[in-house]
Structure 1
């Protein structure tokens, strides 16, 4: 092979053209020209994506505002069609209400472990309650129904990569059920509900209510906490999600000292009775719920509520323990007239004899069973017989004459017939 001079062949980057890779070996005379050009193109592409996303969000927002009333009406119609019947759950033969918190703790921890969306949990509980409203559920299958409801709700509205598998659910149930039992129960739940899975959850109405104000993550997390707390109590099952969302939002604003909107707004039309009932259960949360909302990415709302309850307890204690003697009192001094001995006075009764402790005070008007100093109701056996008081000696004749003279009115007040002309 004949020797060829290196200058007779073109450079490698000139032979194969331009390459967008960052791993192109640049020469001294290039000074990183291709790498900088590639970085500029990536930056321009990223800015274009951001602009496209902002334009899409603005277009979606404008469309949502146009159809928001229709969407809200449809959601309120759907929530009425997919509400469970609490009277039917009451007549269940095996499952009882005290079992519900244990199953909800399991579903809450599984939902948190798989990092599912908030509406997935509320939809799963709704499917569970609707199934229990139509079918007799045995105690040994109660947890299996809960797992099937969670699996259906995750498939319906959550991300595909986060949907739990049957093997994972079986492991969380300590292999209590076989793989086929999960599949059969999932099919049976769907068939019982006529394949109607869509249900407007509390989280959906919360999103509509929070779009009217600026973004406040702590307020949103506090509302999530209150709505998940309501899942544990049967009196909130019959409350519609739209009412529950607005009531929980009003209570969250009260706890966080956020201003309440005008009552004319849709988000401010809460139910005062529901708010009062929710506030009564704030001091009785589940431990699983406390652990979940104690994390920083959920704004540590469980700690915030604990501090709020402590402040409320201190304020209530101050009101209850306010001593009566610290109330302002006014002393009235009655001046004694100079001629007090000439002023007629109303005679006063003497003091009643003291009644021993534990004895009923006799009435002022005695009846036939009342004996002056011997007690009240002796014939009925209410009081023991008491000895009469020591008699007081009669006053002397001089003392009687003095008292008779002192009781006479002054001369200027006497109207005797012989002085009348």
Structure 2
């Protein structure tokens, strides 16, 4: 397999990994789906505008397609990309196995880029970008080392510890250690959306090896003492969109933040429940409804790795359930002082205006797009990749001076 030669500076030899879901797990999923009972139609579930959630028609169609979904075909696709498992020891001695995909370059001046997913995403979000890069370059010409981990609690990485609270600062510390082990202690760029953007902000603020950050999500509240006269017409529309989502679309986040144990039991026990809970997000948070296969690929990964319950922990830190809550983006402790880039997509669920984002760091790069939603990495992979490449080309020459 190409793109597998680690840099000479690597301090570890991660174990190559292949996804191999047991036949029994695939058969169990199909049986549970076949036996699952669909709720009777209601006024709410018959509304075609999905104002009250997914529709009866959609859930029945998705259930039928999932019953016959060819996981093995998709599994083979995943396994065309180099994957690894490697132990990372935290500062308290706790060992985590971290799963990651990687395209390693053989160019001595290749720029390391760490790409971070969110919820209900996974490493799958970045497969289209990895496909673009592996088709466009050879190991000898690839200008970057691309590292795409499953953050703890997601995919094939270890879950959060059972005996203590686990926060995004802990995730950032582990990922910084991973990058050092892979040979990138002298510097790397981080890119993230959703929860990944918040991990990225902490990484670039707290770890010297992280030299620059590019994000496509920046959830925040109005900065203190902000002059509203600075807002453009687009800024005002952005704030209105964010306020509407907070009012009518964010109940899932409060449930995941305040009752994650209860919700975890419910969703982990029924693939149909998982389909409704996550399927709704893929429909509502994208610019255009994605293909059913894209939704089922992600759902299947969550189901086969049994990670829906272990994926909720970031929400206690990122959701403002406490009136004194200070979000990660608003917290001056994590103000970005290094090169900072941002890509704005119009169908983001909790967008922030540029004028607000600029209060959290000095923007070196900002680009607005006319299409795209919350899952930019798979909705608009060419566009997001172009932004990241342009950002890196602009700032990297200065990062290591």
Q: Classify the TM-score, shorter chain.
A: under 0.3
Task: Compare relative contact order (CA 8 Å, sep 6+) and give the higher one, 1 or 2.
Answer: 2
When normalised by structure 1's length, the TM-score is 0.19
Q: Which has the higher strand share?
A: 2
Larger Cα Rg: Structure 1 or Structure 2? Answer: 1
